[in-house]
Amino acid sequence: MQQHMPGRERDAALWADLVARADALPAEPAPRTAHWSDGKPAYINRLVDAPSPYLRQHGFNPVDWYPWGADALAEAARRDCPIFLSTGYATCHWCHVMEEESFDDPEVAELLNRHFVAIKLDREERPDLDQHFILATSLQQGHAGWPNSSWLLPDGRPFHTGTYFPKPHFMQVLAAIAQGWRGDGRAEFERLGGVLTDHIAMVTRRTAPPTALDRAPALAVEQLSSGFNTAHGGFGRGPQFPQEGHLLFLADHLRRGPDARAEQMFRKSLDAMIAGGLHDHVGGGFHRYTVDENWRTPHFEKMAYNQGLMALCLTEAATMDPPIAGADRALSRLADYLMRDLALDRGGFAAAEDADSLDPDGKLEEGAFYTWSEAQLSACLGAGSAVQSLLGLDAAPTLPGGAVIHHPPGAPPDPALVDPVLDRLAACRAARPRPFRDDKMILGWNGLVIRGLATAGLLRNRPDWVDAAAAAADALFSELASGPEIAKLSFDGVVRGPTDLTDLAWAGSAALALYDATLDPRWRAQAETFAAQALRDHAAEGGRYALSRGRSPLGDVLELEDGATPSGESALLDLLAYLSTRAPDPSRDSAASDLVRALSGTLAEMPVARLAALRAARILNEGDAGPLRYLAEGHARLRLSPGNEDLHIELLLRDGWHLQDGAPAGPQGVAAARSDRSDGPDGWRRRIVWTVPKAALPLPCHLTLCTDRLCLAPELTEIRL
Report whether pLDDT(493) > 90: no
The percent of residues above 90 in pLDDT, for the chain, comes to 81
User: Are the beta carbons of 460 and 331 closer than 8 angstroms?
Assistant: yes
Residue ranges of alpha helices (H) inside 583-651 are: 586-605, 611-622
| Lowest mean pLDDT, pick from 226-235, 496-505, 549-558 | 549-558
Q: Where are the domains of the chain?
A: 12-205, 216-353+438-622, 356-434, 628-719
User: Are the beta carbons of 10 and 43 closer than 8 angstroms?
Assistant: no
User: Are the beta carbons of 418 and 387 closer than 8 angstroms?
Assistant: yes
Q: Measure the N-to-C terminal CA separation of the chain; round to a whole number of Å.
A: 66
Separation CA 639–CA 635 (nearest Å): 14
The percent of residues above 70 in pLDDT, for the chain, comes to 98
CATH topology of domain 628-719: Immunoglobulin-like (2.60.40)
Report whether pLDDT(276) > 90: yes
DSSP string, 648-708: EEEEEE-TT-EEPTTS--EETT-GGG-EEES-PPTT--EEEEEEEEGGG-SEEEEE-EE-S
Are β-strands 83-88 and 148-152 bridged in parallel, bridged antiparallel, or unpaired? antiparallel
| Lowest mean pLDDT, pick from 82-96, 97-111, 196-210, 474-488 | 196-210
Q: What is the mean pLDDT of the chain?
A: 93
The pLDDT of 320-349, averaged and rounded, is 96
pLDDT at 203: 86
Separation CA 487–CA 130 (nearest Å): 18
pLDDT-based confidence at 674, cuts 50/70/90?
Answer: low
- List, in sequence order, every residue forming a beta bridge with 667; answer none if it has no partner: 701
The pLDDT of 531-542, averaged and rounded, is 95
Which of left, alpha, beta for 596 (phi over 0: left; psi -120 to 50: alpha)? alpha
CATH value of 12-205 in 3.40.30.10, 2.120.10.30, 3.30.450.40, 3.30.110.40: 3.40.30.10
pLDDT at 260: 97
Report whether pLDDT(104) > 90: yes
Separation CA 33–CA 39 (nearest Å): 12
Long-range Cβ contact pairs of 256-263 (< 8 A, separation 24 or more) = 256/618, 256/622, 256/625, 257/720, 259/221, 261/221, 261/225, 262/221, 262/224
Report whether pLDDT(675) > 70: no
Which one, of 68, 69, 120, 126, lies nearest residue 95 by Cα?
Answer: 120
pTM over 0.75: yes
User: Are the beta carbons of 460 and 328 closer than 8 angstroms?
Assistant: yes
Report whether pLDDT(382) > 70: yes
Are β-strands 352-353 and 302-303 bridged in parallel, bridged antiparallel, or unpaired? antiparallel
CATH topology of domain 216-353+438-622: Glycosyltransferase (1.50.10)
CB neighbour list of residue 400: distance below 8 Å, 6 or more residues apart: none
User: Are the beta carbons of 276 and 289 closer than 8 angstroms?
Assistant: no
pLDDT at 28: 80
- Highest mean pLDDT, choosing among 5-9, 48-52, 180-184, 506-510: 506-510
Phi and psi angles of residue 310, each rounded to the nearest 5 degrees, phi first: -65, -35
pLDDT at 672: 43
pLDDT at 676: 58
- Whole-angstrom CA distances from 60 to 8, 22, 119 are 15, 9, 14
